[in-house]
Chain A
Amino acid sequence: MSGSSMWDAIGGIVRRDLLLAMRRRSDAAMSVFFLVIVASLFPLGVGPEPAVLRIIGPGVLWVAALLACLLSLSRVFTADYLDGVLEQMVLIPQPLAVLVVGKVLAHWVISGLPVVLLSPLLGLQFGLDGEPLGVLVLSLLLGTPTLSMIGAIGAALVLGVRGSGLLVALLVLPLYVPVLIFGAGAVTSSMAGIGGEANLSLLGACLVLSLFLAPWATAAAIRIALE
């Protein structure tokens, strides 16, 4: 199998999923609005004290980003599973894991990238500025693709299972913990003046590891779901 046809397959899937998402723009907008609302609830609940908000800011924004990703996970495979497209994908001569990379990439562009682009604005809400704000954007840029990768495993495992919305949260959230710790840790250590490089490197390592392993697990889970 030539390398170019693999890239063609990924490109084709990404193009198709983005086109479908553009036809239903409100779906994608919903998770972004969710993020904004959750992030805005915390200052109202905790109180508008700038010093407190600066401390909890990185953690709150990361948890909000994590939940926004979680809520959009059902969109990765469910529609294709219900209308039979997923079965056709398994029959395509390209490896299923490669197609999964395309699906996850499209999911990240639809639900992860808006979070990254919006994060400077939300960071300002919590009094972050200067270098910590840059580190926040960078940490989300490195971390959200990992969230989509890990989330795809959970999304594929619960395809067609009753109570799948809650179940996918229970399966995926524990696996998100390292990303959350390193992501929020990068911003916090940058605020403390010791720089976020160490945590950002660990986030990068998580991304590489998940990029390498998650597609195989997701492909296995899809095959099990389609049996």
Chain B
Amino acid sequence: MVNWSKYSSPQAFYPLAGRLIPWFAVVAVVLMGVGLYMGFFVAPTDFQQGEAYRIIFVHVPAAWMSMFLYVVMAVWAGIGMGLNARLSFMMAQAIAPTGAMFTFLALLTGAMWGKPTWGAWWVWDARLTSELILLFQYAGVMLLRTSIDDMRRADRSSAVFALVGVVNVPIIYFSVQWWNTLHQGASVSMSTGSKMAATMLTAMLLMTVAFWLYSIAVILARVRCIMVERESLPVWNEKPAVIQEAVEAR
């Protein structure tokens, strides 16, 4: 029986994260390669949208990750507020930039797809607008944190703001059902299955898992940097064994 609560302390989590990062990173790169190959070369051409549709292999997983990461960030923020755990706040802080990146990526690839398909880079449709608001919320969480010098207050204030913003996530997710929008409805559903060719679905799911693992790797790497920064460890250019020693000495 592993004592999991041991890893709630930064001292124990720092080396664990360091050991996990390469695994997640390698698998993410491999899956991303396979997923992109399948998406761009194996999957059939769409009979309506031609080749332009292939951007969805980046767009849809990025949009999923943008919403999912916000919820994960809010959950860590909530755990931090409830249990007053330092590591939870550090995780929330580490997730925000990656989430913002995926939100931006989803908007960017959406625009690249919208130009040939809808004839416009941008339309003010419910899903696009609420995804844009999600980007603003990520920005708000990060700006609020950097504006406050006191670390404890910065943690807790941005946690409250992140939790308030969670209201937006279901609005984005259901916007294509609630409003009549230009953005097409979901092609993948848990209840009715997929309306796509099997290779398309495989490629998309591969990319989703790849983005997921990439996020974990990047977030763990960032949370290690945050730990070094916050605990002012003089170890960032040292060998792993030295870091380990310095961390345990604290």
In the complex, which residues 154-176 of chain B have their Cβ closer than 8 Å to any Cβ of chain A?
156-157, 160-161, 163-165, 167, 171
The CA-CA distance from A88 to B140 in the complex, in Å, is: 30
Interface-located stretch among B145-153, B188-196, B218-226, B239-247: B145-153
Question: Contact flags (1/0) for B102-139 with A, using CB distance below 8 Å?
Answer: 00000000000000000000000000010001001101
What separation, in Å, do the CA atoms of A171 and B163 have in the docked complex? 13
CB distance from A77 to the nearest CB of B (A): 14
A6 contacts the other chain (CB 8 A): no
Task: Flag whether B144 is at the interface (Cβ < 8 A).
Answer: yes
Task: Report B-chain residues with C-beta under 8 Å of the C-beta of A157.
Answer: 144, 157, 160-161
Kindly state the separation between the CA atoms of A173 and B140 in the bound complex, as whole angstroms: 10
A177: which B residues are within 8 A, CB to CB?
129, 133
Contact of A170 among B139, B164, B167, B171 (CB under 8 A): B139
| Interface pair B148/A178, CB less than 8 Å apart | no
Q: Is the CB of B164 within 8 A of A175?
A: yes
Residues of A within 8 A of B157 (CB): 157, 221, 224-225
Grouping DSSP codes into helix (H, G, I), strand (E, B) and loop, the A interface class, with mixed when no group exceeds half, is helix
**Cβ contact of B136, chosen from A174, A217, A224, cutoff 8 A:** A174
Least distance between B134 CB and chain A CB atoms (Å): 9
Interface of B is mostly: helix
Instruction: Please tell me if the beta carbons of A225 and B153 are within 8 angstroms of each other in the complex.
Output: yes
CB < 8 Å neighbour of A224 from B139, B153, B165: B153
Tally of contact residues, B, Cβ under 8 A: 22
Q: Is the CB of B143 within 8 A of A174?
A: no
When chains A and B are docked, how far (Å) is the Cα of A162 from the Cα of B129? 30
**0/1 per residue, A193-208, Cβ < 8 Å to B?**
0000000000000000
Residue contact B148 to A217, C-beta cutoff 8 Å: no
Q: How far is the CB of A69 from chain B (nearest CB, A)?
A: 17
Interface residues on A, range: 20 to 34
**Who on chain A is nearest to B164 by CB?**
A217
Q: Is A49 an interface residue (CB 8 A)?
A: no
Chain B residue with Cβ nearest A174: B136
User: B149 → chain A, closest Cβ, in Å?
Assistant: 8
Query: In the complex the two chains form, what is the Cα distance from A14 to B143 in whole Å?
Result: 32
Taking CB atoms, residues of chain B closer than 8 Å to A164 are 147
Asked if A170 and B143 sit within 8 Å, CB to CB, the answer is yes
A94-B143 Cα distance, complex, nearest whole Å: 33
Residues of A with C-beta under 8 A to B167:
209
Query: Could you say which residues of chain B place their CB within 8 Å of the CB of A171?
Result: 140, 143-144, 161
Give the residues in chain B near A163, CB-CB below 8 Å: 147
Q: CA separation between A173 and B165, bound complex, in Å?
A: 12
Instruction: Decide if A174 touches B137 in the complex (CB within 8 Å).
Output: yes
Given contacts A161-B144, A161-B148, A171-B140, could you give 16 more A-B pairs where the C-beta distance is less than 8 Å? A153-B164, A157-B144, A157-B161, A163-B147, A167-B147, A173-B136, A174-B133, A174-B136, A174-B137, A175-B164, A177-B129, A177-B133, A217-B163, A224-B156, A224-B160, A227-B152
A interface, CB within 8 angstroms of B: 153, 157-158, 161-164, 167, 170-171, 173-175, 177-178, 209, 213, 217, 220-221, 224-225, 227
Q: List 24 A-B contacts (CB under 8 A).
A: A157-B144, A157-B160, A161-B144, A161-B148, A164-B147, A167-B143, A170-B136, A170-B143, A171-B140, A171-B143, A171-B144, A174-B133, A175-B164, A177-B133, A209-B167, A217-B163, A217-B164, A220-B160, A224-B153, A224-B156, A224-B157, A224-B160, A225-B157, A227-B152
